[in-house]
Amino acid sequence: MIRPIVRDTFFLGQKSDPATTADRAVGRDLRDTLAAHRSGCVGMAANMIGVKKRVIVVSLPPADLVMYNPAIVLRDTPYEAEEGCLSLDGTRRATRYQNITVEYRDEAWQKRRQRYSGWIAQIIQHELDHLEGIVI
């Protein structure tokens, strides 16, 4: 289901709670909402659709990747980036890392560990900030 985008910075500034298997529908809603905003969005966190759970979706062609309870376990090579967000107007500066390793649960609730680099790594880091209540 396509959900409205939350723009309330008070809500966005709150930390998200761990996801459970009961939150799989949140991942589906995130995927649907990302698809509806594809022209201006490459990733979303659950709080952007009004759900305070640790779930993100990232556009990773040819498909969108949903991650439940993602956490960065390794990172290297910091750099400065300027980013926009569907929930906010304008752009903001942020320190990102060129390479990250993320542990998460997939849609089958299997534990995964994957390394990402470049643009995809930057998107994941932005969405993980959302889960921590960091408004970028």
Catalytic residue among 80, 83, 107, 127: 127
User: Could you give the 3-state DSSP secondary structure of residue 5?
Assistant: coil
The Cα–Cα gap between 2 and 32 comes to: 5
Q: Which residues pair with 93 in a beta bridge?
A: 82
**Contact (Cβ atoms closer than 8 angstroms) between residue 34 and residue 59:** yes
127 in catalytic set? yes
State both tokens at 78. Answer: 């910091």
Q: How far apart are CA 67 and CA 64, in angstroms?
A: 10
Q: How many residues does the chain have?
A: 136
Residue 34's DSSP bridge partners are: none
- For residue 33 the two structure tokens come to 């909402």
Provide the annotated active-site residues.
127
